[in-house]
Each structure stands twice: as C-alpha cells, then as structure tokens.
Chains A and B, each alone.
Chain A
C-alpha cells in the first residue's frame, strides 16, 4: 500500500472521524462493553455486519469512480443510485445522519487533498463509505484497497473511542486490533469481490442492536460522541 493510501487510512486525516464512536459509546452506556474482551467482541460483530456492508459499498464506489474516469465523464446519476443503495442498508435515521455527516467531512478533506472528477461529481451529503471509495480511487487505490481501508476504519474508530471512554489500556486495545487483522483482511476480500457486480447484490448484513443503539444515543442527554 503506497503513501497516498496510508494518508487516507490514517486516523489523523482531518475528516471528522474523531467525534464518532461507531456505536461504541451507546454500547458502553448500555453496559455491553466494559473491558478489552467486550470491546473485541463488539468489534468482531461490527466488522461482520456494518463493516462488511460499508467495505462493499466503498469497493463498488471505487470501481465506479475509476470506470467513470476512464469514460471521461462524471456520472452524477450513478452516484445517486449507489448512495441510495447505502441508504437502503442503513435503516436507522441516526446512523444515516452520522454517515452523511462523516461523508461530508471526508469529501471536504479528499477534495482538497486528491482532486478528482469523481469527488467533484459526488453529492455533498453522500454516505461515508461511498465517499471513501471515491477518495480511494482519487488516491490511485483499487477497490480492494477501498474495502481494506473501510474495514480497517470500521474497527479502529470504535477502538479509539473505547480508549477515551473507558480508559482502557491502549496497548491491550492495539493487541486486540492486531488479533482482528486476519478477520479485517477477510472482510476486505469478500467486499472487494462485489466491487464490479450489480449494486443491488451488494451485501446487506444487518446489526439490529447497533441500529437500536444509534437511535438511543441520539436521544441521550449525556454523550461525548456524535454517534
């Protein structure tokens, strides 16, 4: 993986991710995650469901952006359809809003970092995985790279939030992330296999508890993270 893609995957990319916990904060509030073992289980579940869905959408978006560029056009209509596929796989309105907010921030960062016709053609409020896929194409990555960066972010974001919320030992948390590496790679492989197929066939694994947490979170009085 080259430096442009490392920059895109880096949590220091100024794209608003630090204010989102990927459902970890409501899981902590509900008592479902209290320690590193609980976090690892949470991450495994998230990776297999919303992680796979997001990685597949990103892979498809990356392939679409590259195809579009080769055709010499900017297919605004195509982006609307792919974004609707993301909407259809995100039943919770709170999660939709969080995904669009992160997409908007990422689009700002990507447009100023890697100018590309696909990024210019994307709607300003596109879903995060769709933007991430297009940004990967702009940074000269493949659909597999897009899937990998997305699946990686699906576990590292909540892990970072857990360190802040629970005061977990960051070394232990990184060990848990390293233990998940093969699973992350496997999800990236599976997602990348869908990159050029029909969008309606993209994975639609659901995580009802994460949907429920997202809705509870947005109504909570005390919260540190947007989602």
Chain B
C-alpha cells in the first residue's frame, strides 16, 4: 500500500472502472430485499454484480438472498450497523465501504454492487460517497399519504419505487394520488409502481437499472476519450440530467 494522499483513493465516481454502486433504501417491510432479489435474478446473466446487506439485528436479509440462491455466496456480504442503519449509509459509511472494497477485490470485474440499507425512516438517504445512485422503496400498505409527507428518501432518491400495488384496493390506497404527490416533491425524477407478486421480475426497475448502467459505461468511455486519468471527485459521477435534483438536499445533520 503506497502513499495515496495526493489523490482520493475512494473516488465516488464509477467512471474510473469500478462497479456502479446502487443504494436501495426504504422503511421496514416495504420490499427492499425482495426487490434486491428480483434485480439479481433479472440481471445476473448480463451484469457482473454483488450485494451488501445492512441488517438491523441478524443476517436475515443476507441469509434470505443466499437461501434463494440469487447469487453465489461470495457475492453477498452482510454489514452490522450498531442499531443505527441510517448512520451506516450516510454519516459513517466505513463498514459499507470496507464491504464494497472487499467484494471488488474478490471480483475485480464487478459492474454493479447493490447496497441494501436496513429498514429505516423516511429521512434516510445514502451518502454520495457510498452510492452513485439510489432507489427508495415504499409500499402502498404503508399509507398513500407517505409521498405527500415527503422526506429526503421520497424526494431525492434517483428512483422512487411504490411497491405492492396489488394490495392497493385491499388497503384503500389511491395510486393516482401517490403518483401526483410524488411528482410534486420529486422534481421530475422517475417513480415506478411495482408488484413483485404480479410481476416478479420488477421490469420497471430492471429497465431503469439497465439504463443507469449504460449511462455509467458511456461516461466511462467519454472520460477515457478525453484522457482524464482522474480528478473527478465526489459528485461528478452522476449522469447528465441527474444533478439538478440533488441541489436542494441539505447536508446530513
């Protein structure tokens, strides 16, 4: 390990050959792990990928992914968060960075690392030092007023997923209302309505992930074409059209 104080060894930009890091956050029970499993099944043949789970108490989420055999065991890592799941994805991302780096060392060809947060509140947001893009997962049974209430996750995530739409008639949730409220706080960023029960492959989300992977690859090619070795620090790794929405996000408090 040499002197590395003359550049940032933990560059947040995926444009330098490392895997794109995708954060998946949201409240307890909204379907983060099921969505992660669906993405793994849909993408594993075409994308070199791995998963970090941030379980609150046990290694249940990692165990679920292993049991479902969505990926090989050595592509799934569990991180413990000391009773503070939001701290581990936002204020102090050390344990997650360690896990991501270990996966990258084990699988140098990785193109995508999904970091699934522990179930948390509506203000939880991934640090840009950890995740290049992030998905926030809600479910209709949590109440159709949640998008209106906003919160950093709902407002600022690159993709908002409203899951379990099949339950909407049963719990009296108004999907149109959720879509309108979400659009109002999300400044044009996309919202996907999913039902993993009716469409187990989550095609809406999978298509979005394929698109951000293409954008990251194009950016990589662009950087190389212009001979940039490095120098793009944190915050420069996002695709065109993705920057505008982050301007109103306050610093972690």
Chain A positions within 8 Å of B, measured between CB atoms, are 12, 14-21, 101, 104-105, 108-109, 111-112, 115-117, 119-120, 122-124, 161, 164-165, 221-226
Contact = CB atoms under 8 A, between A and B. Distances in A.
B84 A223 contact: no
Contacts of A119: 5
Given A14-B94, A19-B81, A225-B83, 10 more contacts: A14-B91, A16-B94, A16-B95, A17-B92, A18-B84, A108-B94, A161-B82, A225-B82, A226-B82, A226-B95
B8 interface: yes
B80 A111 contact: no
Contacts of B58: 221-222
Interface string B98-138: 10000000000000000000000000000000000000000
Nearest to A117: B3
5 contacts: A14-B94, A19-B88, A111-B5, A120-B1, A161-B82
B98 A105 contact: yes
Contact of B1 (A19, A124, A164, A221): A124
Contacts of A164: 82-84
Contacts, number: 83
Given A14-B91, A105-B94, A222-B58, A120 B5 contact: yes
B5 A108 contact: no
Nearest to A105: B94
Contacts of A120: 1-5
Contact of B57 (A111, A112, A222): A222
Give the interface residue-count category, chain B.
Answer: 20 to 34
B208 interface: no
Contact of B9 (A18, A111, A122, A165): A111
A225 B83 CA distance: 7
B209 interface: no
B64 interface: no
A117 B10 CA distance: 18
A108 B97 contact: yes
User: What 3 pairs between A and B have smallest CB-CB spacing?
Assistant: A115-B5, A16-B94, A105-B94
Nearest to B84: A18
B9 A225 contact: no
B80 A225 contact: yes
A16 B83 contact: no
Contacts of B87: 18
A116 B4 CA distance: 10
Contact of B94 (A15, A111, A224): A15
Given A14-B92, A14-B93, A112-B8, A224 B3 contact: no
A221 to B, nearest CB: 7
Interface string B169-208: 0000000000000000000000000000000000000000
A206 to B, nearest CB: 25
A21 to B, nearest CB: 7
B63 to A, nearest CB: 11
B157 interface: no
B77 to A, nearest CB: 13
Residue with the highest number of chain A CB atoms closer than 10 Å, among B56, B87, B92: B92
A182 to B, nearest CB: 29
A111 B6 CA distance: 10
A224 B79 CA distance: 10
Contact of A19 (B4, B8, B9, B80): B80
A20 B80 CA distance: 9
A21 B91 contact: no
Contact of B92 (A18, A124, A225, A226): A18
B83 A224 contact: yes
A16 B92 contact: yes
Contacts of A108: 9-10, 94, 97
Contacts of A112: 5, 8-10
A15 B1 CA distance: 19
Nearest to B59: A221
A125 to B, nearest CB: 10
Contact of A20 (B4, B57, B82): B82
A104 B84 contact: no
With a 10 A CB-CB cut-off, give which of B8, B82, B88, B98 has the most chain A CB atoms: B82
Contacts of A223: 57, 80
B5 A105 contact: no
Contacts of A161: 82-83
A122 B83 CA distance: 31
